[in-house]
Amino acid sequence: MEVGCLECKENNTYVCETCSVAKGFCYNHATEHWQNNSNHNLLLIKNSYYRVNFESKNAILNMLKQIYQTTEILRDKYLKLSLDSLKKLNESIKLTLIDFDNFLQLCNDQIKEVYTKKFVKMKKIISNLDCSLCLDDANFFLNQISQSSLSQIGSMIEFIPSNFMYVFNNYKTISISHRIDGSILMNTPQPIVFVDQDFKQSSRILQISYSEVMLTGGSFPNSNKVKIFNVHTKSYEYLPQLNVGRKFHAMTFIDGFPAVLGGSIEVAVLGSNNLTQIKSVEVFKDNAWKCFPDLNLAKNCISAVYTGKNTWAIGGFDNTTLNSIEKFEKGAWEVIKIALPFSVRSSLTYALGNNILIIGGKISGGGETNEVLYFNPNSQKIIKARPLQFQSSFPENCFYLENGRFIQALGESERVIRYEFALN
């Protein structure tokens, strides 16, 4: 949506950043405006920027402010309830209050960031937040956002943050499963079936917009291939290839950019192809795949998640199923001290604040699980949440987020899994 000249309605070239409301001008009227207001800053925006829709912006700001106000009220309620508990809960209370304060600061930071935005720079891949800021109607986006809440388990009270940072930084409107006949089933949530000779069960997918997914890797000779598939037009766009071909890897975002993590490479040994797990991490930035710091552990079938702050690599497989957790922060991967209570791979992952849900997956021995874990990095606590109705694994880690409450995903057997998170 382009900005028109305020004076003559011609296509604009400049906009005044100094005016309280962004004003667009053609070249002639921009010159006149600057002559009358020499201290104003005129920005050249032709073919470079979209105008932020102020109704959508105000709607998003109102939602953030509501989240902030609700969280403030919950913080006070939490403190009152906790002070009645036994002294042995003191450490838990302190850690949870840190969670509250960190989350409130996060809300404040996001409110400031959204408030100051007037334009969103045109890029091939933009965040869900930036996309929604420029829509005429942000209701669908806002409906994916949950409010913060409290959950009591016995004498323990847990703060459950809003998912807004996750929704701001991830698109979750498509679930996917490979079918026995080789075709691919997508729920958007309406079912779409298509066939792609390059995209196999060993390939991986990442949703990068409401209508586009990025397909990467797979079995040789397609292990380096990368392309974007538009689910509405059924069209493809090929992108630069991966530096390291791979299969059974993970896809997520790192610092807001699409990333591939780990996986396996095919190595020829005595005339046959053996799989070797790798540590390699690549990020798609500036229309090229950049090599990022390696994982600490070589593995495939990782369950990866980007919270909007950190990227996490959970579980995986390297000749045996793993229970380790790695975090990417300050340009490096770290294996954290706490481990999962059981080894798992190919789980579905989702974030509430910086806390992570690890849903289902395959466990040691190859069987599936219906266990759901809730991981709080601040308190280093892992709590068992309400389990899935069925044992399921999710190699593609793609799901549809419905009304900020329900996760709808396709398991490996094409079974539709609908899950609502709860600790009790």
pLDDT, tens digit (0-9, with 9 covering 90-100), for 219-236: 888 889 999 999 888 899
Whole-number pLDDT of residue 267: 78
Do residue 27 and residue 61 come from a single domain?
A: no
- Give the containing element (helix H, strand E) for 74: helix 54-83
Half-sphere exposure of 423 (CA within 13 A, CB side): 20
pLDDT at residue 413 greater than cutoff 80: no
- What number is the average pLDDT over the span 403-422? 87
Do 223 and 260 lie in a common domain? yes
Distances (CA, A) of 408 to 103, 363, 411: 26, 21, 10
Can you tell me the distance from the alpha carbon of 288 to that of 282, in angstroms, rounded to the nearest whole number?
A: 10
Position 153 in a domain: no
Quote the pLDDT of residue 342: 97
Torsion sign across C-alpha atoms 338, 340, 344, 348: negative
Give yes or no: residues 37 and 94 share one domain. no
Q: What is the pLDDT averaged over residues 122-136? A: 93
| Closest to 190 in 3D by CA, of 397, 395, 408, 389 | 408
Distance of CA 37 to the CA centre of its chain: 43
Predicted confidence at residue 86, as pLDDT, reads 62
The reply to whether 42 and 61 lie within a common domain is no
Ranking 49-58, 242-251, 355-364, 395-404 by mean pLDDT, the lowest is: 49-58
Cβ(408)–Cβ(187) under 8 Å? yes
Q: Given pLDDT bands bounded at 50, 70 and 90, which one contains residue 217?
A: very high
94 pLDDT higher than 90: no
pTM: 0.82
pLDDT value at residue 270 = 56
Q: Is the domain of 129 the same as that of 191?
A: no
| Residues 386, 359: Cα–Cα separation, whole Å | 10
- pLDDT per position as a tens digit, 293-342: 999 999 999 999 999 999 999 999 998 999 999 999 999 999 999 999 99
Q: Are residues 318 and 332 in the same domain?
A: yes
CB half-sphere exposure, 20, CA atoms < 13 A:
0
- The number of helices, as runs of H, and strands, as runs of E, in the chain is 6, 32
- State the pLDDT at residue 278: 97
Q: What single letter denotes the amino acid at residue 213?
A: V
| Residue 420 pLDDT exceeds 70 | yes
Residue 4 confidence (pLDDT) = 67
CB-based contact 278:246 (threshold 8 Å): yes
Average of per-residue pLDDT across 196-212: 89
Q: Which residue has the tokens 């196999």?
A: 200
Which domain covers residue 242, as residue numbers? 170-420
Length of the chain: 424
pLDDT average, residue stretch 152-171? 91
Q: How many domains is the chain built from? A: 3
Average pLDDT value for the chain: 89
Look at 146-155, 310-319, 370-379, 387-396 and tell me which has the smallest mean pLDDT.
146-155
Structure tokens at 161: 């943050």
Q: Are residues 63 and 107 in the same domain?
A: yes
Q: Contact, 45 vs 54, CB < 8 A?
A: no
CATH of the domain at 255: 2.120.10.80
Same domain, 267 and 370: yes
**Residue carrying the six token digits 């308190």:** 379
